[in-house]
């Protein structure tokens, strides 16, 4: 008997990723929208929404909410409406799976205002921003543009101080040629007994003083006179001698 071979394959359900995508905290009803990457959103009806991160402890916070009433008209953007759940001044929005594990969470520190939505941009993966409009059950609107900071007025440049005029340098006086000192006249050379004077430089002028040339002349005249007198005396003696000699000679004859 031929035996039959049967191949049995088991399939594990694969849950697509889900994210908190947009929410409004005031006024009532509040609502939270999710981004669902799966073709069906029915699995999300077994999940839970809470305003704290403790699945089994709701002390001091609102009780967690089942998503059994989730609106899945658009399975890509399912949402749930709730009353008096999220704190207007700041709170947590936490999504738990059916095992009590946190799937996604977001904390806001202040409410954006009445009928103002906080949402991701882009959907699923972006950061949270205040949106230009609420988009419950559909793709999120663009964020409210941040006001551009007013440009600070450029400070007027301080006038540059006028440069102080450079002091005009007075022309340095041309150095005067130093006049060659007029050589002081050389003290006149005293005449010696022979009337000869020591040689002096050609540029020098001999000053005659009382002991100079005049004195020399005075000394020279007596000497000359003496020589003349001696000569005359000698000539007279010679003449007298000759006359005396002639007279004696004539007597002898």
What does the pLDDT average to over 224-236? Answer: 73
8 Å CB contact between 215 and 197: no
Average pLDDT, the chain: 75
Measured CA to CA, the distance from residue 119 to residue 140 in angstroms comes to 7
Does the structure show a pLDDT above 80 at 193? Answer: no
**pLDDT category of residue 212 using cuts at 50, 70 and 90:** very low
What does the pLDDT average to over 32-41? Answer: 96
Does the structure show a pLDDT above 50 at 250? Answer: yes
What does the pLDDT average to over 60-85? Answer: 94
Does the structure show a pLDDT above 70 at 202? Answer: no
Predicted local confidence at residue 87, as pLDDT: 93
Instruction: Point out which residues pair with 49 in neighbouring strands.
Output: 65, 95
* pLDDT tens-place string over residues 55-65: 998 876 789 99
Predicted local confidence at residue 207, as pLDDT: 47
Q: Against a cut of 0.85, is the pTM above it?
A: no
Does the structure show a pLDDT above 70 at 120? Answer: yes
Predicted local confidence at residue 198, as pLDDT: 42
User: Domain map of the chain by residue range?
Assistant: 18-130, 208-253
Measured CA to CA, the distance from residue 25 to residue 113 in angstroms comes to 8
Predicted local confidence at residue 151, as pLDDT: 65
Q: At CB < 8 A and 24+ separation, what contacts does 213-221 make?
A: 213/188, 215/191, 216/191, 219/191, 219/193, 220/195
Predicted local confidence at residue 150, as pLDDT: 64
């Amino acid at each position: 008997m031929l035996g039959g071979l049967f191949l049995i394959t088991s399939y594990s359900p694969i849950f697509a990723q889900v994210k908190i995508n947009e929410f409004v905290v005031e006024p009532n009803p509040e609502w939270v929208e999710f981004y669902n990457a799966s073709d069906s959103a029915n699995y999300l009806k077994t999940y839970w929404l809470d305003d704290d991160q403790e699945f089994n402890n709701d002390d001091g916070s609102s009780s967690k909410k089942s998503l059994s009433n989730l609106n899945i008209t658009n399975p890509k953007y399912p949402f749930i409406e709730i009353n008096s759940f999220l704190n207007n001044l700041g709170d947590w929005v936490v999504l738990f799976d059916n095992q009590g594990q946190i799937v996604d969470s977001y904390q806001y520190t202040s409410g954006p205002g009445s009928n103002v939505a906080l949402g991701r941009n882009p959907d699923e993966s972006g950061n949270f921003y205040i949106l230009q409009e609420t988009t419950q059950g559909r793709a999120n609107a663009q964020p409210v543009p941040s006001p551009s900071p007013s440009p600070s007025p450029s400070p007027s440049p301080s006038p540059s101080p006028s440069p102080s005029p450079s002091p005009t340098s007075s022309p340095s006086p041309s150095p005067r040629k130093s006049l060659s000192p007029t050589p002081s006249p050389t003290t006149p050379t005293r005449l010696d007994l022979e009337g000869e004077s020591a040689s002096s430089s050609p540029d020098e002028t001999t000053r005659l003083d009382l002991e100079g040339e005049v004195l020399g002349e005075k000394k020279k005249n007596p000497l000359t006179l003496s020589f003349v007198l001696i000569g005359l005396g000698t000539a007279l003696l010679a003449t007298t001698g000759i006359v005396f000699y002639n007279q004696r000679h004539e007597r002898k004859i």
